[in-house]
Chain A
Amino acid sequence: MSVTFRVPLYFFLLSLSALKGQTRYLEENEITPEGLFSLLNSELKRELSEDFIYRRPLRCLDMLATDGQFTFAADRPQLNCAAFFIGEPNEMISIAYDNVNIDCDGGDFIKVFDGWVMKGEKFPSSQDHPLPLYERYIDFCETGSVRRVVRSSQNVAMIFFRIHNAESGFSITVKKLLNPFPCNIISQTPEGSFTMVIPQQHKNCSFSIIYPVEIQIAELSLGHFNDFPVKRVVPGCAGAGDFVELLGGNGVDTSKMFPVADLCYSFSGPAQMKIGCENTVVRMVSSGKFVNRVTFQYRLLDRSELQKIKGNNVEDFCFTE
């Protein structure tokens, strides 16, 4: 092979292998309707394009886990409405206004919140979210003409709306986008498993399960596997820059929950804990110096286990064992 041919060839092969490493986590390997859609001929595509969009009316109190187009038509004044959005842990929510017919001057509003708000508490907490609180509310009346698509930072979002007139309404299209390194997740199910990775970023991430569960941590890796385990001068986790904590509480705000356990040593081999609270959170704090990873699974506590935990505990804040 001539030199002039070899150099571009080596460069091409090098780029291929580099890209393979970089984009490994970004590939979507699932077969999706949209992916298959592109293989069809134009006639079938026209026929299917209507079918593939899920449509239904939006209710005044609603929870949406599917993609689709949702329309709210007020048959009478609805002054206090909210809808929750939730996706898979590795998804983000994208909300696009399709057509909005509300009277902003008359007191109507549509506000999208980046997270969930319940009883005055927000998830993710202010400590765990990159934006300040007032920037997490996006008001259609203020920004709607400019910003027609709103995207959440995690797998949950909310929309608050108020409509005074019976003929008003609006329509939104909800799509899910892929989030390669999910941080701040609310689990859709009371049972499951998850691996949270924080790749050398200085941030805190929470995985929230709104059920009383038993958590089993299968593996915790704080720091690169080549590093020697850090010798701790002070016993316990005080002062550790990288650690995982298990929290329990009766609200969604992780900063107002009680730490049940702190883990600041890497280990593998299951460690389990039963947390009988309304909300159970696995939170990872990362200094940014290391790649931190925790793998865990969780299952719902049944009534007899909950009774047993409550019976064995003197302390009053959600019961742990």
Chain B
Amino acid sequence: MKLAFLVFTVVLLVAVLPRYESRAIENPGAVQSASSDPQSDLQKLSLPILLRLGEEYFLRLGSANQNPQVFMPPDASSTTVKRALQLQLTQRLLQGKVANIRRFASSNSDQLDDSMERGKRTDDPPISLDLTFHLLREVLEMARAEQLAQQAHSNRKMMDIFGK
């Protein structure tokens, strides 16, 4: 019930608020190629965007209890990461930023080549990851925990072997 209400609010906000070109969450590409013709692109994609956004938003929330058809495979230890992802997505959608679905869903590499070309001329990275610092720290802490566990395991193994 709450979920449906939230999705409805988001869809309403997206329809009402002015649309800003923004990077997709995972593969933004170069901003230049995106900003070249944002309005008409978005208008062309407006209806599919709303539907797709609804889908993706839903999919991400669905990771908590349903089959994980999600962007990031769920992990037993990454509930905080999931929550952070959801929060980030919610914030983005509520601020009226629309993910560039065309780039996100595109399977051809033409746009990527374009951005690579532009990247060579300007100093902007052609491929970038749009991640908040909060999420980056979460993943870093997970990696540190993994490293410490691996170090402990390795030490234990060495002790076993040299104790023989």
Chain A contacts to B: CB under 8 angstroms: 33, 36, 40, 44, 48, 51-52, 54, 59-66, 68, 77, 79-82, 84, 86, 107, 109, 111, 113, 117-122, 126, 133-134, 137, 158, 160, 162, 164, 188-189, 210-211, 250, 278-279
Q: A80-B27, A107-B109, A133-B119 are in contact. Are A118 and B144 (CB under 8 A)?
A: no
B15 at the interface (CB under 8 A from A): no
B70 to chain A, nearest CB (A): 10
A66 lies within 8 A of B150 (CB): yes
B123 at the interface (CB under 8 A from A): yes
B52 at the interface (CB under 8 A from A): no
Going nearest first, the 6 A-B pairs with the smallest beta carbon separation are A80-B26, A80-B27, A63-B143, A65-B143, A63-B139, A65-B147
B133 lies within 8 A of A65 (CB): no
B31 at the interface (CB under 8 A from A): yes
Known A-B contacts: A63-B142, A80-B26, A134-B116. Give 17 more (CB < 8 A). A59-B72, A59-B73, A59-B75, A65-B146, A68-B150, A77-B107, A80-B27, A117-B125, A118-B128, A119-B130, A119-B131, A121-B128, A134-B120, A160-B27, A162-B27, A188-B144, A278-B133
In the complex formed, the residue of B with least CB distance to A125 is B123
B164 to chain A, nearest CB (A): 9
B92 at the interface (CB under 8 A from A): no
> Which chain A residues lie closer than 8 Å to B127 at the CB level?
111, 113, 117, 137, 160
- The winner among B31, B104, B125, B158 for most chain A CB atoms within 10 A is B125
Task: Report the interface size for chain B: residues with CB under 8 A from the other chain.
Answer: 45
B73 lies within 8 A of A60 (CB): yes
> Which chain B residues lie closer than 8 Å to A211 at the CB level?
137
B5 at the interface (CB under 8 A from A): no
Q: How far is the CA of A133 from the CA of B15 in the complex (A)?
A: 38
Q: What are 19 A-B contacts defined by CB distance under 8 Å?
A: A54-B150, A62-B139, A66-B146, A79-B27, A79-B104, A81-B26, A82-B26, A109-B109, A117-B127, A119-B130, A120-B125, A126-B123, A133-B119, A134-B119, A137-B127, A160-B127, A188-B140, A188-B144, A210-B136
B102 at the interface (CB under 8 A from A): no
A60 touches which of B71, B130, B133 (Cβ 8 Å): B71
Q: How far is the CA of A59 from the CA of B108 in the complex (A)?
A: 23
B96 at the interface (CB under 8 A from A): no
In the complex formed, the residue of A with least CB distance to B70 is A60
In the complex formed, the residue of A with least CB distance to B157 is A51
> Which chain A residues lie closer than 8 Å to B154 at the CB level?
33, 52
B6 at the interface (CB under 8 A from A): no
B125 touches which of A59, A109, A122 (Cβ 8 Å): A122
> Which chain B residues lie closer than 8 Å to A158 at the CB level?
129
> Which chain A residues lie closer than 8 Å to B143 at the CB level?
63-66, 84, 86
Q: A52-B154, A66-B150, A82-B26 are in contact. Are A120 and B124 (CB under 8 A)?
A: yes
A39 to chain B, nearest CB (A): 9
> Which chain A residues lie closer than 8 Å to B119 at the CB level?
133-134
B23 lies within 8 A of A60 (CB): no
Q: How far is the CA of A80 from the CA of B28 in the complex (A)?
A: 9
B159 to chain A, nearest CB (A): 11
A86 lies within 8 A of B109 (CB): no
Q: How far is the CA of A119 from the CA of B123 in the complex (A)?
A: 14
> Which chain B residues lie closer than 8 Å to A44 at the CB level?
161
Q: How far is the CA of A80 from the CA of B104 in the complex (A)?
A: 8
Q: How far is the CA of A250 from the CA of B133 in the complex (A)?
A: 8
B133 to chain A, nearest CB (A): 4
Chain B, residues 63-77, CB within 8 Å of chain A (1/0): the string is 000000001110100
